């Protein structure tokens, strides 16, 4: 019992660290993990699905094992794992800075900030395109960068935190449907889809409730989310679109090609004020999910019923 309370407090401490400091600019463990993945890919890449399965299994195991080692260090290790796995504060800071730049009429500054959130070419985007890209990223990454790692941390402790972060990082690096990664990245992408099924839907529920518009958010999810190519991003983006009374989606240009995304929500296209509203909603969802995760991790287990003597 005492150990579970200590782990819950450590999870809270790691979350507080992310809220206070955000991601370190240099030497972030996730960046170091990504560098190691990239280096190993140069030797282990094969354009075959089986090779990708082995590659994903290797690095997810490495992530979970690192979390298990951190857990053996006690509460300090758990707090460090949580701080490493979470990235919601930096997400919201960048979103707020983009809104500031657009409000100041400095679209070039907004374009310079956008690659921190999305993989699109910012030079092709006007103010509406920048706002749409930023809101979509904030919605999706509210789940990926905070809610999902907290869910896995609540259930499986530090191994869950860093194991999930490994899954999500692999998907970001090789989970593309282009010629190079269609087969090799299949396992990483499908594992990420599976890992985010519950967190994405929890994020959508929290977004609807905490926005004060749960019916509108639920209606957007029910009518639009299934048309999105991602089983999870569509849910959270539709929930944010409905909650904020905006529309998301449309033609999206990435480095690997263009995609025509379905429209989510039935409001107007987002502007800078809507981007700020998305940031505020993301912060509320992140805080609520942290409270739920800490409460779950520290919950009191019902003692087993004592056997009565005959």
pLDDT for 305 equals 45
At 300, is the pLDDT very low, low, confident or very high (cuts 50, 70, 90)? low
Q: Is residue 310 part of a domain?
A: no
Judge whether residue 310 has pLDDT over 50: no
pLDDT category of residue 245 using cuts at 50, 70 and 90: very high
pLDDT score at 261: 82
pLDDT digits (tens, 9 = 90+) for 131-143: 999 999 999 999 9
Residue 146's pLDDT is 98
What is the pLDDT at residue 285?
98
Q: Would you say residue 64 has pLDDT above 80?
A: yes
User: Six-digit token pair at 47?
Assistant: 């354009």
Q: Please check whether residue 32 lies inside any domain of the structure.
A: yes
| Mean pLDDT on 291-302 | 82
Residue 56 lies in a domain: yes
The structural domain count of the chain equals: 1
**Residue-range definition of the domain harbouring residue 239:** 2-297
Helix axis angle, 49-72 relative to 186-195, nearest 10°? 50
Question: Across the chain, which distance is largest between two alpha carbons, in Å?
Answer: 82
- H or E stretch including 226? none
The mean pLDDT value of the chain amounts to 93
What is the C-alpha to C-alpha distance for residues 194 and 176, in angstroms, rounded to an integer?
16
Q: Residues 6 or more apart from 106 whose CB is under 8 A from it?
A: none
Q: Looking at residue 258, what is its pLDDT?
A: 66
Section 277-300 average pLDDT? 94
Identify whether 306 is part of a domain.
no
pLDDT of res. 1: 52
Query: Is 304 among the domain residues?
Result: no
Q: Which residue has the higher pLDDT, 176 or 232?
A: 232
Question: Where is average pLDDT lowest: 42-56, 245-259, 265-279, 288-302?
Answer: 245-259
- Residue at 117 is within a domain: yes
- Assigned domain for 42 exists: yes
Looking at the domain assignment, is residue 75 inside a domain?
A: yes
């Amino acid at each position: 019992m005492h150990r579970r309370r200590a782990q819950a407090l450590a999870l809270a401490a790691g979350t507080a660290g992310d809220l206070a400091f955000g991601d370190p600019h240099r030497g972030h463990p996730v960046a170091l993990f990504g560098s190691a993945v990239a280096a190993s890919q140069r030797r282990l890449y094969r354009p075959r699905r089986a090779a990708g399965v082995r590659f994903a299994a290797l690095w997810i195991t490495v992530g979970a094992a690192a979390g298990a080692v951190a857990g053996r260090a006690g509460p300090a290790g758990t707090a460090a794992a949580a701080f490493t796995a979470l990235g919601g504060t930096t997400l919201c800071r960048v979103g707020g800075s983009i809104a500031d730049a657009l409000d100041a009429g400095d679209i070039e500054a907004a374009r310079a900030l956008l690659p921190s959130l999305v993989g699109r070419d910012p030079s092709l985007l006007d103010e509406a395109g920048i706002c749409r890209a930023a809101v979509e990223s904030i919605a999706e990454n509210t789940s990926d960068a905070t809610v999902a790692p907290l869910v896995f941390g609540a259930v499986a402790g530090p191994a869950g935190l860093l194991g999930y972060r490994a899954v999500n990082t692999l998907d970001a690096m090789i989970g593309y449907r282009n010629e190079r990664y269609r087969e090799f990245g299949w396992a990483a992408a499908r594992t990420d889809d599976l890992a985010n099924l519950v967190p994405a839907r929890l994020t959508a529920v929290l977004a609807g409730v905490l926005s004060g518009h749960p019916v509108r958010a639920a209606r957007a999810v029910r009518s639009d989310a299934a048309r999105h190519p991602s089983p999870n991003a569509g849910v959270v983006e539709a929930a944010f679109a409905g909650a904020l009374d905006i529309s998301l989606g449309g033609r999206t240009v990435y480095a690997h090609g263009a995609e025509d995304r379905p429209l989510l929500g039935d409001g107007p296209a987002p502007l800078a004020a809507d981007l700020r509203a998305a940031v505020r909603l993301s912060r509320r969802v992140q805080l609520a999910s942290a409270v739920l995760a800490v409460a779950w991790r520290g919950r009191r287990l019902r003692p087993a019923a004592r056997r009565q003597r005959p």
